[in-house]
Amino acid sequence: MSLSSTTTTCTSLLQELQIIWDEIGEGYNERDTMLLELEQECLDIYNKKVDKTRKHRAELQRSLAQSEAEIATLMSALGEQASFSRKEGSLKEQISSVKPVLDELMVKKDLRWREISEIVTQIAEISSNIAGNDCSVSSGLEIDESDLTKRKLDELRAHLQELRNEKAVRLQKVNFYISAVHELSEILSFDFSKALSNVHKSLTGASKSISNDTLARLTELVESLKKEKLQRLLKLQGLGRTMQELWNLMETPMDERRRFDNLSGLLSVQAADDALGKGCLGLDIVREAEDEVKRLNALKSSKMKELVLKRHCELEEICREVHMDFNSDAARQMMNVSFAGNADLSDILASLDEQIEKAKAEALSRKEILDKVEKLKHAKEEEKWLDDYEKDENRFSAVRGAHKNLKRAEKARSLISKIPAMIDGLTTKVKAWEKERGVPFLCDKHPLLQTLEEEIVLRAQREEEKRQLREQKRLQGQLATEKEAKYGSKSAKKPLGQSLNTDNVTKTPLGRRIGTTPGRSGVKDYRDSGRGNATAIPLNYVALQKED
């Protein structure tokens, strides 16, 4: 509605009011009063409208200022570097230009706040896990909205990554300790889940505690279990050795020993970190081994006399085999006194075991020398046999087994030729042995070195006797030859080495082959062959064989 139409309407209404007043007969004073009231009412209405409009302008100005202030605050909080300048125009135009900028900044703020809030929540959760707090982290964490910059977000992300890495390292340690506890639980035979629950109840679930306290308690648990494992291993090894000693002592059958084969396997374990079988160090195994050792010790006490006698016989046999001096009668007398006096036979048995070990060591050191002594004895026996064999005038007769004797004689001569070297080598060995130990080497209670020296003297005497005998036979043969050359041969001489014994002659293969009667025909054959070959065989036939 325009101003002119409004004025017209007011004039017409005033005219109509005048007409009504005329009809009513209002006085001029009342009319003036009423007109003044109308003017005042109109003025009041205008004043109200002006005040309202002023307030609206002030509100728009305040809103614009607030928007600009919010924009400045948001840009500072978000770290925006772009500047904002107010545009020219009315307040509504200015507000319209500011509103999109403010809305955009508010959206950025909300996104940035959510990102930071999520990161801060994760940081709080991981920090709580590391600190060992079991209570859950509330979602209403306080965030400083005055600093929502990209730099702040990057710092929080870096801190979160550090915490994640630390969490991963701690979780890896926890899993390592859990695996170690599981492995030890299988070896030591204890409840794996119960052991972990005693450390922290979360270790048996999916989300495991990674706090310092949990790691410290897990470390302590693993160390204590390793110590327990080592203690049990050493204890079972000791029980196993004791068990084997008692088994060997009492000659326990292998069927009874197989029940403890697992203990035999533990004896070869060098370190506690070596791989061990499942349940091999359980408390039941330890108790079973302890019971077996107790049983064997009780059985040992009842068989102690028998064991002492057996050990004495073993010691006596070792000394006898290696020709060591051992006073068996005195030892038996001491044992009889101990048996009669009910003395502690364990000490006697331990002493015998110690003597047996020393005797075995002594026997081992004497073995090489005694082997050479046995070879020397064998050579001397062959020498004696060869002497007897060469004295036999019928050794060349064609009897059964003669070729074997010839071969034996050949080997005996070769062996006898080595006797001096054998004696020299044995003497050197014995002297070195005596020098090392500072005691004489006794063989059957006699010094072996003295025996060897006596043997050297005896051999020298025998060689001299043989040489003189050969010289005497040579002179006799030479004298007989000179006499025969001077006076001539009266009759054919029978070759040395043959005999008129009809028993030997009739045993020749020829006699058996042609089936002749033993006796005359054999003698005749022998005589004929003797007369036919008398001049072909030298007189010193035997002497020549001796020299060979």
pLDDT tens for residues 261-290?
Answer: 877 778 777 766 666 778 888 888 889 989
**Per-residue model confidence (pLDDT) at position 504:** 39
Distance CA 511, CA 72 (A): 150
Task: Indicate the pLDDT class of residue 205, thresholds 50, 70 and 90.
Answer: confident
Distance CA 65, CA 60 (A): 8
Task: Indicate the pLDDT class of residue 512, thresholds 50, 70 and 90.
Answer: very low
Task: Indicate the pLDDT class of residue 5, thresholds 50, 70 and 90.
Answer: low
Instruction: Determine what percent of the chain is predicted with pLDDT higher than 90.
Output: 10
Number of helices and strands (H, E) in the chain?
Answer: 19, 2
DSSP 497-508: T----HHHHTTS
Mean pLDDT of 292-308: 80
pTM: 0.48
Query: What Rg, from alpha-carbon coordinates, does the chain have?
Result: 65
Distance CA 143, CA 110 (A): 12
Cβ contact 547:470 at 8 Å: yes
> Of 136 and 249, which is predicted with more confidence?
249
- β-pairing, 442-443 vs 446-447, is antiparallel
- In angstroms, how far apart are the furthest CA atoms of the chain? 233
pLDDT at residue 538 is higher than 60: no
pLDDT at residue 548 is higher than 60: no
> Of 394 and 210, which is predicted with more confidence?
210
Closest to 421 (Cα-Cα) out of 456, 448, 383, 446? 456
**Per-residue model confidence (pLDDT) at position 536:** 38
Cβ contact 151:79 at 8 Å: yes
Bridge partners for 442 per DSSP: 447
Distance CA 146, CA 399 (A): 132
pLDDT at residue 474 is higher than 60: yes
Three-state SS across 146-214?
A: CCCCHHHHHHHHHHHHHHHHHHHHHHHHHHHHHHHHHHHHHHHCCCHHHHHHHHCHHHHCCCCCCCHHH
E strand or H helix that includes residue 440: none
Alpha carbon distance, N-terminus to C-terminus of the chain: 173
**Token pair listed for 382:** 């062959």
Helix axes of 304-321 and 345-391: crossing angle, nearest 10 degrees: 30
Each residue's pLDDT tens digit, 206-245: 778 888 888 999 999 999 999 998 898 899 889 988 888 8
Cα–Cα–Cα angle for 353, 269, 294, rounded to 5 degrees: 50
Cα–Cα–Cα angle for 319, 320, 324, rounded to 5 degrees: 50
Distance CA 47, CA 54 (A): 10
> Of 84 and 370, which is predicted with more confidence?
370
Q: Is 443 helix (H, G, I), strand (E, B) or coil?
A: strand
Question: What is the number of residues in the chain?
Answer: 548
**Per-residue model confidence (pLDDT) at position 13:** 86
Each residue's pLDDT tens digit, 429-440: 888 888 888 888
Mean pLDDT of 15-31: 87
**Per-residue model confidence (pLDDT) at position 331:** 62
Instruction: Determine what percent of the chain is predicted with pLDDT higher than 70.
Output: 79
**Per-residue model confidence (pLDDT) at position 55:** 93
Mean pLDDT of 119-123: 90
Pick left, alpha or beta for residue 499 (phi over 0 → left; psi -120 to 50 → alpha; otherwise beta): beta
